């Protein structure tokens, strides 16, 4: 995790709140424990979570990551709606995922587009996933839509995770809806295990 932070600090346009150390460590540990064939994340930004997930997959010796984020031309207009509470932005000269080192990119596909359209297509193509991480549009509607879509494709024993679960009621509503055996929230991070 320190390599992610150190690399990011070298770029003056990088915002430090892009991924918390707690979230990154939790994602790494989950990925190592679950040993997933497929991980899906929505919201890439600079790519700190992608880097960590790909590092874990590489250590596992198996698995792939599919990530969805807006193309750079749509980043700022989309983020401006909640910029006051979420100051994360891409440095002007960077593209989503710029932090991910070249040696890890063989396990990764970055899909540039709106998760509303891209996530259902991606999940349908993959069939089953073992780990899902939401860190994209943090509106109640978008979070519920993504949670429900991912849950339908999540394998038994898989984990659905999300950043910023305290921003609205989506995470709590979703947990009440699916009644998981295990669910919790730590700081801004939410985790649900599928029975």
The tens digit of pLDDT for each residue in 29-58 reads 999 999 999 999 999 988 999 999 999 999
* 4-8, 123-127, 154-158: least confident range: 4-8
Token pair, residue 179, equals 């009644």
Residue 3's pLDDT band (cuts 50, 70, 90): low
pLDDT confidence tier of residue 181, bands split at 50, 70 and 90 = confident
Domain residue spans of the chain: 2-193
Tell me which CATH code domain 2-193 carries.
3.40.50.150
How many Å apart are CA 166 and CA 189, to the nearest integer? 8
Name the residue with higher pLDDT: 143 or 82: 143
Predicted local confidence at residue 180, as pLDDT: 86
pLDDT at 85 over 50: no
What value does the mean pLDDT take over residues 137-141? 94
Nearest to 117 by CA among 49, 69, 51, 184: 69
More confidently predicted of 109 and 80: 109
Give the span between the Cα atoms of 134 and 45, in whole angstroms.
12
């Amino acid at each position: 995790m320190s390599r992610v932070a150190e690399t990011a600090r070298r770029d003056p346009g990088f915002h430090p709140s892009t991924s918390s150390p707690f979230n990154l460590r939790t994602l790494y540990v989950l990925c190592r424990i679950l040993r997933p064939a497929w991980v899906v994340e929505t919201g890439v930004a600079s790519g700190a979570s992608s880097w960590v997930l790909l590092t874990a997959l590489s250590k596992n010796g198996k698995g792939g990551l599919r990530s969805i984020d807006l193309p750079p031309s749509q980043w700022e207009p989309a983020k401006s709606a909640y910029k006051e509470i979420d100051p994360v932005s891409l440095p002007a000269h960077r593209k989503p995922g710029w932090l991910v080192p070249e040696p890890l990119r063989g396990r990764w596909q970055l899909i540039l587009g709106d998760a509303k359209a891209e996530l259902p297509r991606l999940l349908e193509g993959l069939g089953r996933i073992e780990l899902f991480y939401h860190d994209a549009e943090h509106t109640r509607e978008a979070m519920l839509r993504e949670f429900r879509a991912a849950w339908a494709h999540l394998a038994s024993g898989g984990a659905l995770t999300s950043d910023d679960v305290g921003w609205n009621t989506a995470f709590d509503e979703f947990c009440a809806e699916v009644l998981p055996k295990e669910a919790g929230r730590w700081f801004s991070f939410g985790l649900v295990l599928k029975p």
